[in-house]
Structure 1
Amino acid sequence: MSVYLSIVVPLYNESESVEKLLATIVEVGKEFDFDYEIILVDDGSEDETWEIIERLKRTTPQLTAIKFRRNYGQTNAMVAGFDHATGEIIATMDGDLQNDPSDIPTLLDKIKEGYDIVSGWRKNRKDHILRVLPSRVANAIISLTTGVHLHDYGCSLKVYRAECIKPLEAYGEMHRFFPALSSMTGARLTEVPVKHYQRKYGVSKYGFERILKVLSDIFAMNLIIRFSSMPLK
């Protein structure tokens, strides 16, 4: 049978969480009435993440794994997962156990209603205020810049029709713009509240440098929109 759902998860130094993450996804998958695959992308981890993935592959037939030689960033890891995905629908999520795989069926229900992209909204977000406030500012700027309003562009838990997400080109931190870019080409987009948990293991990869990258990509996105809307001479 053909694969209906591909679940893409970028990982960077998640040795303490990857085994529990995979077990949770597989448990949720028991309720699926379709075939699915899990694509873990090791984004150049410096801990034991890859060794654990290789061990888990031996007992998890749904699992495909990709390893980067060095850290290329979350966007590139997602795109690599998209390139390897064979499903009609692609789900993305973080690998740090802050997203809940049990929310995936809720997002899929919206796909069945006719939407092309369903974005998670961490309505009750469990991060520190110093992460939440910049994120809210970025969400407001992105919504204003693109004309596509979402409460939570930064939430990695999303579901896409493969034909909407695979053609997109991305770099930097552009993965957060995927819903807006797809919506601007005619894709139907909606947002659904999802659960969010405090990080239990490891440390956040979201620092000042990443904030600067996001701001840079917002500027680049603004240029893309401006020039794509200019009439040809």
Structure 2
Amino acid sequence: MPLLQTKTPLDTWLAVPWEEFVNIADAPDSNKLKSYYYNGKMRLENMSTGSDHSNDHALIMFAIAFFSAHQRIPMTAKDGCSYRKSGHTEFQPDASYYVGDKADVIPWGTRIIDLEQYPLPDLVIEISDTSISDDLGTKRLQYEELGISEYWIVNVQTMQIFAFTIAIDGSTKRIRESLILTGMKLEILEQALQRSRQENQSVTMAWLMEQFK
């Protein structure tokens, strides 16, 4: 049954069978929602965001695009893309990236990326305005269990970036410089977020471009 008829609450992990989750996530009235499924539970979030969230989302994507082009790092960005492994998991991060040899792995015409057919993204990013506890909690566990190489959480309220990579033993460890985008220092991005509170994005990006040279 469609989401709006069942009044399924948003921003909450709910235990549901996989088939029910797919029916809800793929229903026409759910096309403006982000969907997650992990450990037998689903979570739905509004895709539409507030101004602060969207500003930081845009700035981070601009910064990574310029840095990658300047450093000649092959990459393809995905904005709000859905990833699904049937019967097991689904996630829809704010931004995700295929880097290096995998930059061209997803063909045009792909809607939901089937993880039984295509590889995981190398980097996923969640922009956290009101969802920081979940992004640091259950979603982090989901991405860790899947084996995604690098996971960033951008805290809109504090202008901090929490970034994690998969350690040799399979657990995650905190990093302050990207291992996927070699040479990308998160401190510089945090400074850019701070500057963006006082100046427009063009001015902030001009400053960032100088830092990346």
Alignment TM-score > 0.5, same fold: no
TM range (shorter): under 0.3
The alignment's TM-score, normalised by the length of structure 1, stands at 0.24
Bigger RCO of structures 1 and 2 (CA < 8 A, at least 6 apart): 1
Bigger proportion of residues as helix: 1
Bigger proportion of residues as strand: 2
The alignment's TM-score, normalised by the length of structure 2, stands at 0.25
